[in-house]
Amino acid sequence: MEKLKDAINLFNQGKVREAEKAFLRLAKEDPQNFQPYFYLAIISKAKRDLQKAFEFANKSVSLNPKFVDGYNFLGGISYESGDIDKAVTYFEKALSLNPNYLPAWNNLGLCYKAKRNFEQAKFCFEKVVSLDSNYADAWNNLGTLLKGIGKKKEALNCFKKALEKNPQFLEAKLNLGLSFCEEGKVEEGIKLLQECYKAHPRNPKVLHSLASVLIERKRFDEAEKLLRQALSIAPNFIDARKNLVRLLYLKGCMKEVLEEMKVVFTLKGVNKSVDYFSLGNTFAALGKKDEAFDCYIKALELAPDYIPVYRQISLIHRFKQGDKLCNKFFDLEKRLNRTTRVDFKIEGYFALYKFYEDLGDYKKAFSYLKQGCDLKRTLFNFSIEVIERNTEKVMKIFTEKVVELSKGYGCPSKVPVFILGMPRSGTTLVEQILASHPDVHGGGELLFFINDCVKGLRIGNLVFENPQNGKFLDAPYGFFEVGWRYLQKIRPLNYEALRITDKTPTNFFLLGVIALSLPEAKIIHVKRNAMDTCFSCYRTLFVDDHEWSYNLEELGRFYLLYERIMEHWRKLFNGCFLEVQYEDLVDNFEKEAKRIIKYCELEWHPDCAKFWKTKRSVATASMMQVRQPIYKTSIGRWKKYEKFLEPLIKILEPIL
């Protein structure tokens, strides 16, 4: 017994080589003692000799069949080796010996998560925290699981719990920082991630997490530096490699994207179905429809239950009766009944909507569309009344007197071009026309103005989000700072371009602030038929939230708000922005396109007439449409569903 204690002391002191020799001697001297074998298993695992670790641990449980730690260890080795079913068997064996053994419950949850049995995984993690609310690792695992199935707010609370129980828990801190950013608390999230970076500047996970957020903020150069640093430390870090692919794609470096994807496919542990799906999305954003389709089909063959693939196929493929894909989509209806993932169900409902629309069964198509929208709406804690009150407040504050007194205080620059209006109104098309001009950089949906630049701006008793430093920007002098902040954000996107577009549709709420803070900027308002616009919003599963778009009544009320505030801006800023009617652009393309280019004080360029050939990535919901010449099939599409849209029609009746 003394010799065993001495060997354990050596191990605990970090003298691993001496401890290993001591345990080997003990195993020879007392071959029926299970403990030396278990410590030898731990040492072998640390040396990454998983086979030897498994053999030693197996020996320990054969000598002591009631050794719970041994079965848990064997489960861990099996999990790391990729044999999830065997891991489940060992963890369940440990729990049969001790039903309250928390590490086994936690590890069993990880196994079920890997098997995509999310309900069972959730049960396991919740079991752990019900038995011990201080088990930080289980809180973090539960948060990761909830985030993966789309329950972001519940996940954020779990990460908070994990950090509350263990303030030094790095992984939970990273997860919380990322969740803050996803929930719109960007400054708070970045601050937390930068704290992690300061404390762990060479940790690949930290570098990757911070880079992920910077990519969303379009700080591409900083993000690329961090990702390449992470990969120099851990070349096989799959998530970092994939994020680098995404970054290069967003920067338009398509040759590098494809080269990096080749590397991704060689990495151990890569999920080829998911990666073919991601590669397909890359090709789709580039307008390479055939290549995208081939990737999606490969992904589907590898993982028929990976439901997001079906929706992506539906976006780029037109189905016909007898289509070889029809049977797969009929089977999708059965797969939806089996999956427990809410996000997969939503994706599947939207895929089936498009499928049945193509086949001409509009009743069934709308049934699936409504199921998808209704389910998506349950994920939001959203109130249209709040938006209505805030809009009223903005219109009351922005009066003729305020506008007159505030003119001349903004930051003069002709670089920014704001393209705004309702989502799905044609803003992407207008941006693509402009971005085809050699002097224009297409920025996409930048979100800088909404998220960063107006913080602290105070006009009377109206404050556009409280500043973190407590320093307010009082109008009219604050308008210059708002404009200056924006220019500092967009200029690094392209230092050579004469114009840089920002196609964030809902900037229409801030048109007054934009006009006063950047008085020489160009503002283009894109309009489209109300019913076509609203139905197009309803039938679109947006990447970002757009919470108002998944309920017909809320959608109608939001559209009326948009109409009211745009009429308000017309009265206050008459002639300060260009209005483009989508239907006119479709009917008389070149005339309207030239009007847009002229308004931006640019010379007409023939490439603008061939906008669909422009080699830039487009990742919005309109990515495939802008890869085609002008077409009219989207005009009046809502009429096929008129009898199902009565709640929307009733609300919009005053303006129809």
Q: Is the pLDDT of residue 393 over 80?
A: yes
630 to each of 2, 433, 503, 587, how far by Cα in Å?
85, 11, 19, 9
Q: Is 459 helix (H, G, I), strand (E, B) or coil?
A: strand
Local confidence band at 631 (pLDDT 50, 70, 90 cut-offs) = low
Report pTM.
0.71
Summarised one tens digit per residue, pLDDT across range 453-464 is 888 999 988 888
CA nearest neighbour of 582 among 524, 500, 537: 524
In this prediction, residue 122 carries a pLDDT of 95
Q: Do the bridges between strand 522-527 and strand 499-502 make them parallel or antiparallel, or are there none, so unpaired? A: unpaired
Summarised one tens digit per residue, pLDDT across range 211-259 is 999 988 778 888 999 999 999 999 989 889 988 988 887 776 767 887 8
What mean pLDDT is predicted for residues 607-631?
A: 58
Question: Helix 272-285 crosses helix 238-251 at what angle (to 10 degrees)?
Answer: 10
What mean pLDDT is predicted for residues 591-616?
A: 87
Query: Is the pLDDT higher at 635 or at 178?
Result: 178
Local confidence band at 629 (pLDDT 50, 70, 90 cut-offs) = low
Rounded CA separation 377/545 (Å): 10
384-655 topology per CATH: Rossmann fold (3.40.50)
Q: Where are the domains of the chain?
A: 271-379, 384-655
Question: N- to C-terminal Cα distance for the chain?
Answer: 89
Rounded CA separation 446/450 (Å): 9
What mean pLDDT is predicted for residues 588-597?
A: 95
What mean pLDDT is predicted for residues 511-516?
A: 96
What mean pLDDT is predicted for residues 198-210?
A: 95
Q: Is the pLDDT of residue 624 over 50?
A: no
Q: Is the pLDDT of residue 625 over 70?
A: no
How many other C-beta atoms lie within 10 A of the C-beta of residue 184?
Answer: 11
pLDDT over 90, % of the chain: 64
Phi, psi of 338 (to 5 degrees): -90, -30
Local confidence band at 91 (pLDDT 50, 70, 90 cut-offs) = very high
271-379 topology per CATH: 1.25.40
In this prediction, residue 623 carries a pLDDT of 44
In this prediction, residue 78 carries a pLDDT of 93
- The structure tokens listed for 114 are 């890997």
What mean pLDDT is predicted for residues 33-43?
A: 89
Rounded CA separation 452/455 (Å): 6
What mean pLDDT is predicted for residues 288-299?
A: 89
